[in-house]
Structure 1
Amino acid sequence: MSYETLEQYQRKWIFTHQSMPVPEQDWSQIKPMTQARAAQFWKENVSAQSPDAERLSSQDWPMNESNWLESVDWMQEWESDDNALPSAVNEFLDWQDDVTVYFCYEKYNIIETKWSVFKKYWKNFLFYDDGPFLLARRRNQALWFNTDGTVRLGQRS
């Protein structure tokens, strides 16, 4: 099996937190990968050597500055009462709602969901903002969230 249930997920609380709980009927659309599956995905799509964003090597595509077009603020929208993604992110990612996306916290912690689900609950995903990436199946665009409240918009190479 490639996934564990949200009930089994070590960070389940980010989706059940009382300040912004994800309705239980949507839990099945948030699929944490097993550690083995996450490690394989990370190796193929982020880094073959580094276990997290803090230790990426100069050979890893995220470290190539030419892959990043701009940085925009996400923290202001995260702290607001509005649930919408930052407009610059929405404009940059013109994906259909059914596109499969991967929120990559680190090598052993990746969640698969649909773009529509991520957009709806992006604030939950960002309870942990230690350099996660948002990637999508068969799409080159990528996001790299930073703890300083910015997100880098770019292209995977």
Structure 2
Amino acid sequence: MSYLPLDQYQRKWIFTHQSMPLPEEDLAQIKPMTAQRAAQFWKDNISAQSPDSERLSSQDWPMHNKAWGDEVDWMAEWESDDPEMPVAITQHIDWQDDVTIYFCYEKYNILETKWSVFKRHWKNFLFYDDGPILIGRRRKEALWFHSNGLVKLGQHQ
């Protein structure tokens, strides 16, 4: 099996927290990868050597300056009552709602879902903001969130 049931996911609370609970139909579309599948996905798509985004090497594509363009503030919108993502993000990523995305917290912690689910509940995903990288299946655009409240808008290499 490539996925864990959401009930067994160590950070399930970020999606069921009483202040921002997700509806059942959206919870059903969030698929935590098993540690083995996540590690392989991380190796193939983020880094063959580094276990998290804080220790990426100069050979890893996220560390290449040419991979990234603008940096925008996401924290102000996250802290507001407005559920919408920052406009700069939705302008950078103009994907159809059914595009499969991967939200990569670190080597053993990756979530798969649909772009529509992430757009609706991006604040939940960012309860942990220690450098997660978002990429889409067969898409070039990428996002790299940082705990300083900035997100890099770029291209997956």
Q: TM-score range by the shorter chain?
A: over 0.9
TM-score normalised by length of structure 2 = 0.99
CA distances 1:16-47 after superposition (whole Å, capped 9, x unpaired): 11110112232110000000000000000000
Provide the rounded CA distance (Å) in 2 between the counterparts of 1:73 and 1:63.
20
Match of 1:105 in 2: 105
Identity %: 71
Provide the rounded CA distance (Å) in 2 between the counterparts of 1:66 and 1:102.
21
Match of 2:55 in 1: 55
Provide the rounded CA distance (Å) in 2 between the counterparts of 1:71 and 1:116.
22
Q: Secondary structure at the match of 1:135?
A: strand
The answer to whether residue 152 in structure 2 is matched with residue 133 in structure 1 is no
Corresponding letter in the other structure for 1:61 = W
Corresponding letter in the other structure for 2:25 = Q
Corresponding letter in the other structure for 2:21 = P
Corresponding letter in the other structure for 1:100 = T
Larger deviation, residues 22-31 vs 67-76: 22-31
Provide the rounded CA distance (Å) in 2 between the counterparts of 1:64 and 1:146.
16
User: Runs of 4+ in structure 1 displaced over 6 angstroms?
Assistant: none
TM-score normalised by length of structure 1 = 0.99
Q: Which runs of 5+ in 1 are unaligned?
A: none
Q: Which runs of 5+ in 2 are unaligned?
A: none
